[in-house]
C-alpha cells in the first residue's frame, strides 16, 4: 500500500546492484523509483510530475550526472537534484553546485544516514520552493485583478458622473421645461447605475474578505424580501413574477452569500427583459432536496448570444450594450458559489430568454 | 459660419451621453445629419453600407472607448481597414471619461484619430474643434 504522503524519490545509477540496494534500503521510508540510465529517468520524470527528489550517480556511460541535471533543469525545475559521486570528480561537482544545478552531493559509497538526511533536506527545500511558487502565482493573479479592477472602477464611477455633468450643463442652458424633465429622468438612471455599481463593489469585498457564517436557512423567509421588492417593480413594468419554494428539510449555509446569488440572478432577470413584448415573466423556483438546494431563475427576456455564454461570469464582462449592466453581478455570483461549493448552469436563447440553475450543497 | 455643414456620428453605449452629445451638436447649428449608435458594430455597418447621407459633407465621429461587444479601439481598428475613399470622409475624435494613461497614449498611436476629448462634451470644446476643422 502506498501512503500518499511518502516522498517520491527517483534514483539513477547504471549499476543494477546499486539500484537494488537503494530500493531495498529506502522503500519503506520513501516512494522509490529507479532508472538505470538517464533516458529511462526522463520518461519517469514526464510520467510522474510529483517526483520531489532526484538522486543521480555522476559516472554513467552515456551522460554524467552533472550533464543530466543541467539538461533537465529548465524542463523540470521543481524536483531537487542530489548528485552521488566519488571524490575524484570533485572539480565538476563544485562547478555544478556553483551553477545551481545541484542542491546536495553525497559521497560514494553512501551510508543510509547520508541519503536520508539529503532526502529530508531536499524535501524541505522542495516544499518551501513550491509554496513560494504558489504564493507568487496567487499574488500575480491578485495584481492582475486589481489592475483590471482599478481601471474599470474609474470608468464605471467616472462614466455616470461625467454624464451627469453633461446633463446638468444642458439643463442649465435650456428654458424648455419638458426637455429639462427628460434630462432629469436620464440623470436619475445615471445615479442609480452608479449606486448599483457601488453596491456591487461592496458585495465583491464582502465575498473576498468574508469568512463563511453558517446558519439555518429558511428560504421562504429569505425570498419574501425579494418578493416584496421585485413584486412592485414587476407590477410597474408588467412583469409577472412568480416565486415557488419547496423546503421540507433543513438547510445550512451562509445567508449573505445566498442573498448575493439570489439578488443578482433575479435582478438580472428583471433587467434584461424585452421591453416590447407582452407577457414578460420571471420565475424563481427553490427546492431543497437531499441536502442540496436547487435555485432556478427563468426569464423570457433578451437572452444571451451563444458566443458570449462562457464569458458572462468574467469580471466586467458585458454581453449587451443595454445600459443597466455593470459586468459585476455574475462575477460575484460565481465567486459566492465557489465559496459555497455550488455550481451554476446557464441555458439561453437570444430573444427567447435565459434560465440559470444553481445547485448548492448544505453545509 | 454656414449652418449644417457637417454630418455627425456619436458612438456611445450610454444613451444619456448620446443625448448630451446630440444636444450640444444641434446647439452649434453645424449638424446636417446627426446619428447616434449605442453599439459600435451598427455604426460600422452604417458607414460601410450605402445608407448614409448623400450630402457630400464630411462627417465628424465621436467615439467612446469602453463599450461592450465592440469597444472604441476595436471600432477604430476596423475603421482603419476600410478603403481610403471612405475613410477620407470622416474625422474621428475619441470622447471618453477614461483617465487611464494607457488609453490616452493608445489613442495617440492611432493616426486616424484626430484628438482625445474628455467627457463631458461641452459646447466650448465642440466649438473649438469645429473651428480647427474649418
Domain B6-133: which CATH class?
alpha beta
Say if A352 falls within a structural domain.
yes
Question: Could you say which of A47, A79, A110 is where a domain stops?
Answer: A110
Is the predicted pLDDT of residue A298 greater than 90, yes or no? yes
| Residue A161 located in a structural domain | no
C-alpha cell of residue A75: 524542463
Q: How confident is the model at residue A247 (pLDDT cuts 50, 70, 90)?
A: very high
Strands (E), A267-352: 280-289, 292-299, 343-349
In the numeric block, which cell numbers belong to residue A21? 540496494
Domain check: are A361 and A219 in the same one?
yes
Asked if the C-beta of A184 comes within 8 angstroms of chain B's C-beta atoms, the answer is no
Question: Where are the strands (E) in B5-130, listed by range?
Answer: 6-11, 31-37, 59-63, 90-96, 113-118
Q: Write down the mean pLDDT value for chain A.
A: 87
ipTM of the predicted structure?
0.83
Grid cell 504564493 is found at: A135
Interface of B with A (CB under 8 A): 13-17, 19-20, 23-24, 27, 38-39, 66-69, 97-100, 118-123
Residue A253 to residue A250: CA distance in whole angstroms: 10
Helices A112-172, A16-26: crossing angle, 10 deg rounding? 70
My answer on whether A362 and A221 are in the same domain is yes
Neighbours of B5 (CB within 10 A): 16
What is the rounded CA–CA span in Å between residue A169 and residue A160? 14
Could you tell me the pLDDT band of residue A324, with boundaries at 50, 70 and 90? Answer: low
Question: Is the pLDDT confidence value at A325 over 80?
Answer: no
Can you say whether the dihedral through the CA atoms of A310, A313, A315, A316 is positive or negative? positive
Residue A147, chain B, CB below 8 Å: the answer is: no
CATH code at A63? 3.40.50.2300
Q: All 3 cell numbers of residue B95?
A: 470622447
Is A301 an interface residue toward B (CB < 8 Å)?
Answer: no
- Give the pLDDT confidence of B46-105 residue by residue, as tens digits: 998 877 777 888 999 999 998 877 889 999 999 999 999 889 999 999 999 988 888 888
Whether A235 and A360 share a structural domain:
yes
Decide if B97 and A162 are in contact by the 8 Å CB cutoff: yes
Chain centroid, CA A125 distance in Å: 27
Q: Are residues A99 and A235 in the same domain?
A: no
Q: How confident is the model at residue A307 (pLDDT cuts 50, 70, 90)?
A: confident
How many residue pairs from chains A and B have C-beta atoms closer than 8 A?
Answer: 76
**H or E segment and range at residue A55:** strand A53-57
B133 Cβ contact list (under 8 Å, min separation 6): B6, B58, B60, B91
Domain assignment present for residue A150? The answer is: no
Q: How many CA atoms lie within 13 A of A301 on its CB side?
A: 29
CATH code of the domain in which A329 resides? 3.30.565.10
| pLDDT tens-place string over residues A250-268 | 999 998 889 889 989 998 8
Number of domains in chain A: 2
Q: How far off is chain B from A163, nearest CA to CA, in Å?
A: 6
Using the predicted structure, report yes or no on whether residue B131 has a pLDDT greater than 80: yes
Option in B38, B98, B100 nearest A321 (CB): B38
Percent of chain A with pLDDT over 90: 46
Chain B residues lying within 8 Å of A170, measured CB to CB? 20, 23-24
The Cα–Cα gap between A41 and A68 comes to 10
Backbone φ and ψ for A11, nearest 5 degrees, come out as -115, 130
- pLDDT value of position A1: 46
Could you tell me if A183 lies within 8 Å of chain B, comparing CB atoms?
yes
Q: Are residues A363 and A230 in the same domain?
A: yes
Residue A220 near residue A245 (C-beta atoms within 8 A): yes
Bigger pLDDT: A110 vs A44: A44
Q: Are A50 and A8 in contact (CB under 8 A)?
A: yes
Cell 442540496 sits on residue: A292
Q: How far is CA A40 from CA A12, A24, A265, A347, in A?
A: 9, 20, 54, 49
pTM for the model: 0.62
Burial category of A159 from C-beta neighbours within 10 Å (exposed 0-12, middle 13-18, buried 19 and up): buried
The answer to whether A45 and A72 have CB atoms below 8 angstroms apart is: yes
With CA atoms as reference, the chain B residue closest to A191 would be B16
**Is A162 an interface residue toward B (CB < 8 Å)?**
yes
For residue A4, what pLDDT is reported?
Answer: 53
The pLDDT value given to residue B1: 44
> Which of A60, A91, A110 marks a domain boundary?
A110
Q: Helix (H, G, I), strand (E, B), or coil: what is residue B50?
A: coil
Range of the domain at A43: 8-110
Output the CA angle B22-B26-B30, nearest 5 degrees. Answer: 120
pLDDT at A2: 44
Neighbours of A98 (CB within 10 A): 9
Query: In this structure, what C-alpha cell is assigned to residue A278?
Result: 407582452
Quote the minimal CA–CA distance from B118 to chain A in Å. 9
Is the CB of residue A317 less than 8 Å from the CB of residue A338?
A: no
Give the tens place of pLDDT for each residue, B11-46. Answer: 998 888 999 999 999 988 888 899 999 989 999 999
Domain boundary among the residues A86, A110, A134 is at: A110
* Residue A211: burial class (beta carbons within 10 Å; 0-12, 13-18, 19+): exposed
pLDDT of residue B2 exceeding 60, the answer is no
SS3 content of chain B, % helix, strand, coil (to 5): 40, 25, 35
The answer to whether residue A37 sits within a structural domain is yes
pLDDT in tens, A50-82: 999 999 998 888 888 888 998 898 899 889 999
Q: In A64-163, which ranges are E strands?
A: 80-85, 104-107
Give the pLDDT mean for A142-158: 79
Amino acid at each position: 500500500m502506498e501512503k500518499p504522503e511518502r516522498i517520491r524519490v527517483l534514483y539513477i545509477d547504471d549499476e543494477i546492484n546499486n539500484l537494488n540496494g537503494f530500493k531495498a534500503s529506502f522503500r519503506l521510508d520513501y516512494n522509490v523509483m529507479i532508472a538505470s540510465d538517464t533516458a529511462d529517468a526522463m520518461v519517469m520524470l514526464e510520467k510522474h510530475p510529483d517526483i520531489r527528489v532526484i538522486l543521480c550517480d555522476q559516472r554513467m556511460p552515456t551522460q554524467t550526472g552533472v550533464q543530466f541535471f543541467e539538461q533537465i533543469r529548465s524542463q523540470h525545475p521543481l524536483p531537487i537534484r542530489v548528485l552521488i559521486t566519488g571524490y575524484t570528480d570533485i572539480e565538476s561537482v563544485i562547478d555544478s553546485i556553483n551553477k545551481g544545478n545541484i542542491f546536495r552531493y553525497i559521497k560514494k559509497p553512501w551510508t543510509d544516514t547520508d541519503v536520508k538526511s539529503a532526502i529530508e533536506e531536499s524535501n524541505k527545500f522542495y516544499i518551501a520552493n513550491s509554496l513560494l511558487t504558489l504564493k507568487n502565482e496567487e499574488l500575480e493573479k491578485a495584481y492582475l485583478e486589481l489592475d483590471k479592477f482599478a481601471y474599470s472602477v474609474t470608468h464605471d464611477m467616472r462614466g455616470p458622473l461625467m454624464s451627469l455633468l453633461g446633463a446638468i450643463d444642458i439643463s442649465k442652458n435650456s428654458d424648455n421645461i419638458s426637455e429639462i424633465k427628460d434630462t432629469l429622468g436620464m440623470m436619475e438612471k445615471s445615479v442609480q447605475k452608479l449606486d448599483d455599481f457601488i453596491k456591487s463593489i461592496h458585495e465583491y469585498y464582502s465575498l473576498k474578505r468574508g469568512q463563511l457564517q453558517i446558519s439555518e436557512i429558511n428560504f421562504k423567509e429569505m425570498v419574501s424580501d425579494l418578493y416584496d421588492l421585485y413584486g412592485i417593480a414587476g407590477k410597474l413594468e408588467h412583469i409577472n413574477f412568480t416565486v415557488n419554494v419547496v423546503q421540507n428539510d433543513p438547510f445550512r449555509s451562509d445567508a449573505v452569500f445566498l442573498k448575493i446569488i439570489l439578488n443578482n440572478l433575479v435582478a438580472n432577470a428583471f433587467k434584461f427583459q424585452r421591453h416590447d413584448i407582452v407577457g414578460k415573466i420571471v420565475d424563481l423556483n427553490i427546492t431543497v432536496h437531499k441536502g442540496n438546494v436547487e435555485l432556478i431563475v427563468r426569464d423570457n427576456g433578451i437572452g444571451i448570444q451563444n458566443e458570449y455564454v462562457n464569458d458572462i461570469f468574467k469580471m466586467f464582462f458585458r454581453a449587451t450594450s443595454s445600459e443597466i449592466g455593470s459586468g459585476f453581478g455574475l462575477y460575484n455570483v460565481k465567486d459566492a458559489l465557489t465559496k459555497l461549493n455550488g455550481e451554476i448552469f446557464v441555458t439561453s436563447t437570444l430573444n427567447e430568454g435565459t434560465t440559470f440553475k444553481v445547485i448548492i450543497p448544505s453545509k | 459660419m454656414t449652418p449644417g455643414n457637417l454630418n455627425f456620428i456619436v458612438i456611445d453605449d450610454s444613451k444619456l451621453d448620446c443625448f448630451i452629445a446630440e444636444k450640444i451638436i444641434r446647439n452649434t447649428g453645424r449638424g446636417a445629419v446627426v446619428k447616434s449608435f449605442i453599439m459600435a458594430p451598427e455604426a460600422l455597418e452604417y458607414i460601410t453600407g450605402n445608407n448614409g447621407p448623400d450630402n457630400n459633407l464630411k462627417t465628424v465621429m465621436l467615439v467612446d472607448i469602453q463599450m461592450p461587444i465592440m469597444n472604441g479601439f476595436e471600432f477604430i481598428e476596423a475603421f482603419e481597414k476600410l478603403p481610403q475613399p471612405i475613410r477620407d470622409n470622416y474625422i474621428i475624435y475619441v470622447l471618453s471619461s477614461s483617465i487611464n494613461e494607457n488609453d490616452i497614449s493608445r489613442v495617440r498611436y492611432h493616426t486616424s484619430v484626430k484628438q482625445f476629448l474628455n467627457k463631458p462634451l461641452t459646447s466650448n470644446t465642440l466649438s473649438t474643434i469645429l473651428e480647427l476643422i474649418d
